[in-house]
Amino acid sequence: MAVADRLQSRARASPRLVTAVASVVGYALVLGTFGGLLPFPSISNETVILLSDAIAVVNAAALTAIVVGVYFIKTDQVRKHRAAMLTAFGLILAFLVMYLLKVGGGFEKSILVEGPVYWAYLVMLAIHILLSAVSVPVVVHAVVLGLSHSVAELRETAHARVGRLAVAAWGLSLFLGLVTYVMLNHIYGWVPRGGEAALLLAVAGPQLATLRE
């Protein structure tokens, strides 16, 4: 309890510093994973596919929690709003763990489509990734303020303004992520991305095709 109180006191005194530190840690984990700097156990192709589906479910639940949280604050149900937004934040942390495991220990996918649909997919994917990146400090700051201040005190902070920005960026990112997931996995299909794609298809192609059916 004493440790939790100290952390809350520090977040209360320096919310921007806590936000910056937490954001840097998050960025470092993602960049380290993509750069191959962090050790991850190798996972099977089936596990990669399972994680992709699990991530979509978690993101859909997070988006639902955000929408519900917005409804609660608009109807002045502050405690329920807080619970919904913390649920959404917890789900995003779960997404981050699964995503890093999938990228660090498995493979990425490329969509099997051409023409305007391909470019529309890339645009949505790019916006999704960009918003995911830029929303990190905004979301973290809103959460830090919410956890370290009372309801009355929050009215004197930037929580409401930052929260609106977080909901807009975070919500749109999750929505576009779900749209691109459906296009990639359930409409057009995919192949493994990268230099080992041909080898992976030759070895695991039949199993991957079976799993997609």
Does 194 score more than 80 pLDDT? no
Structural domain count, the chain: 1
Reported as type and span, the H/E element at residue 101 is helix 78-105
Query: Which single residue is written with the structure tokens 């201040």?
Result: 149
Predicted pLDDT at 196: 43
Closest listed residue to residue 93, CA positions, set 8, 29, 20: 29
What are the distances in angstroms from CA 178 to CA 25, 87, 181, 182? 25, 18, 5, 6
CATH number of domain containing 161: 1.20.120
- pLDDT digits over 159-180, tens only? 999 999 999 999 999 999 999 9
Give me 19's structure tokens.
């936000």
Find all residues with CB under 8 Å of 104, minimum gap 6, and list them.
33, 38, 40
Domain of residue 103, residue span: 2-212
State the pTM of this model.
Answer: 0.84
Predicted pLDDT at 7: 58
* Three-state secondary-structure class, residue 191: strand
Q: Which of 41-45, 51-55, 81-85, 201-205 comes out lowest in average pLDDT?
A: 201-205
Residue 3: which pLDDT band, with cuts at 50, 70 and 90? very low
Distance between CA atoms of residues 94 and 59, nearest Å: 9
Burial category of 211 from C-beta neighbours within 10 Å (exposed 0-12, middle 13-18, buried 19 and up) = middle
Predicted pLDDT at 209: 41
Mean pLDDT of 133-157: 90
- pLDDT digits over 24-60, tens only? 999 999 899 888 888 888 998 899 999 999 999 999 9
